[in-house]
Amino acid sequence: MINKQIEAALNKQISAEASASHLYLAMASWADSKGYEGVSNFFYSQSDEERQHMLKLVKYVNERGGHAIVPAVKEPLKIFDCLTHVFQDFLDHEVRVTDYINKLVHICYENRDYTTQNFLQWYVAEQIEEEALARTILDKLKLIGDDKGGLYLFDRDINQLTVTSAAAPDENA
Ligand code: FEO
């Protein structure tokens, strides 16, 4: 049975993942309306991923005898100045989520809930990947600047971008 403090903390995380899913959907919609087809597909898929992160938590809380609460979600930002603005917000949001996850792991440690701590390791690894991806994309955008041809190619190729973090498990090990 899950303890109440951990249940509450996990419910907070459910809400954070739902907000991320909503924000990325708003980014996808903005990009779609501006003709950035690749970027919009990228964020539609990020939004789906965040929903999966949320669902995984919902199922875990209920499985452990708690009650996962489906949260109200605030309306996200809908207008962005440019692609750099979108991706900077994406990175900032992921950095915040990483911080939440780290705090959550710490609460588990304090409560000696090693089962939940172990469950959360998947999120710890996921956050490293997502932050690395957001930073890689932002670096590319800084190189491109206002070059229209560069932005066209960026939009065309963004979904081919994959990032393997140095912290990922070594497949050859
Ligand atoms: Fe589920 Fe990207 O945080």
Structural domains of the chain, with CATH: 4-160 (1.20.1260.10)
Gap between the Cα atoms of 67 and 81, Å rounded: 40
Q: How confident is the model at residue 1 (pLDDT cuts 50, 70, 90)?
A: confident
Structure tokens at 69: 């609460």
Atom of ligand 1 nearest to the CA of 97: 3
Looking at residue 169, its pLDDT comes to 60
- For the Cβ of 130 lying below 6 angstroms from any atom of ligand 1, the answer is yes
**Contact status, residue 107 vs residue 5, Cβ threshold 8 Å:** yes
Question: What pTM value is reported for the model?
Answer: 0.92
What are 90-135's pLDDT values in tens digits? Answer: 999 999 999 999 999 999 999 999 999 999 999 999 999 999 999 9
Query: Closest residue (by CA) to atom 1 of ligand 1?
Result: 50
Gap between the Cα atoms of 117 and 131, Å rounded: 21
pLDDT at position 18 over 80: yes
Looking at residue 159, its pLDDT comes to 87
Query: What is the mean pLDDT of the segment spanning 2-30?
Result: 97
- For the Cβ of 20 lying below 6 angstroms from any atom of ligand 1, the answer is yes
Atom of ligand 1 nearest to the CA of 98: 3
Q: Which residue has tokens 């992921």?
A: 94
Where are the alpha helices (H) located in 34-113, listed in sequence order?
37-63, 83-110
Name which residue leads in pLDDT, 160 or 74: 74
Gap between the Cα atoms of 78 and 45, Å rounded: 18
In Å, what is the CA distance from 173 to each residue of 57, 128, 170? Answer: 30, 20, 5
Gap between the Cα atoms of 30 and 117, Å rounded: 37
Atom of ligand 1 nearest to the CA of 17: 1
- For the Cβ of 131 lying below 6 angstroms from any atom of ligand 1, the answer is no
**Contact status, residue 28 vs residue 44, Cβ threshold 8 Å:** yes
